[in-house]
Amino acid sequence: MPGRDPPRTYPPPVTPVADPPDAPEAFAAGLAPLHAVLAAPVRPELSLSLVPAPKRMAPWSVAVAAEVSRDGEDVASGRFVVLHDPEGHDGWQGDTRVVALVEAQVEPEMGADPALADVGWSWLLEALDARVATHTAAGGTVTRTTSKRFGQLEDAVDASEVEVRASWTALPGDDGLDLGRHLLAWCDLLCSTAGLPPPGVAAIGPR
């Protein structure tokens, strides 16, 4: 009829991200604990989801995205990617490589602390050890940035951020490859960088 609005169109439904097809048995078994972590909330401030993984870096890959909120505000985010190549790489010293990113807002005083980079890296190593995430060949960078506001933005709060880029090779433990332990270690790093207290401990003020 004249004057009638055109029919509304909707985007196609999003297809759930699944494990890479035809993954080697040992790698698929190592992914099972990772899915168990995704199915059970680590803590209420942290949200995890499977996202499309890069396809050119390894024959098989899986990726997880995360966001951390505090007092209703997003304060940190990150990406956790698992790469698997049965032929391995000399630099990996194994066949399963984890590539991780953490970006978080921090208090200006902490962002200005020159020791922040060393502390951020130690958080990663401590988290891997605490979760008994067997690994080797860890490497990465920790970058801190501080933004000073001027002019019309002078009344706004100065911004400080820390970015942790890291990679390590996941190795089989006593029970085989367990990528859930590595995901949990990364979650611990993400929450520590965002300034969240350990689970069960109430925050008493800014870090």
- Residue 69 placed within a domain: yes
Question: What pLDDT is attached to residue 140?
Answer: 94
pLDDT digit string, tens, across residues 96-122: 999 999 998 876 666 556 666 788 899
pLDDT at 204 (0 to 100): 40
Residue 25 lies in a domain: no
In a domain, 133, yes or no: yes
What does the pLDDT read at residue 60?
94
pLDDT tens-digit series, residues 139-148 = 999 987 765 5
Is residue 114 assigned to a domain? Answer: yes
Identify whether 11 is part of a domain: no
* 146 Cβ contact list (under 8 Å, min separation 6): 108, 111, 112, 158, 159, 160
Res 192 pLDDT > 70: yes
In a domain, 132, yes or no: yes
Residue 200 lies in a domain: no
% of the chain with per-residue pLDDT over 90: 53
pTM assigned to the model: 0.81
Q: 16-45 pLDDT, tens per residue?
A: 344 566 889 999 999 999 999 999 989 999
Using one digit for the tens of pLDDT, what is the confidence trace for 160-191? Answer: 888 899 999 999 999 899 999 999 999 999 99
Number of structural domains found in the chain: 1
Residue 121 lies in a domain: yes
- Average per-residue pLDDT in the chain? 81
Cβ-based neighbours of 207, under 8 Å, separated by 6 or more = 106, 107, 110, 195
Check residue 72 and give its pLDDT.
83
Give the number of other CB atoms < 10 A from CB of residue 193.
27
Q: Which domain holds residue 74?
A: 34-193
- State how far the alpha carbon of 17 is from the alpha carbons of 49, 55, 109, 184, 199, in Å: 9, 13, 40, 20, 29
Q: Note the pLDDT of residue 7.
A: 42
**pLDDT category, 196, cuts 50, 70, 90?**
confident
Contacts with 108 (C-beta within 8 Å, 6 or more apart), sequence order: 146, 157, 158, 159, 160
Cβ burial of 160 (10 Å; 0-12, 13-18, 19+) is: buried
pLDDT value at 153 more than 80: no
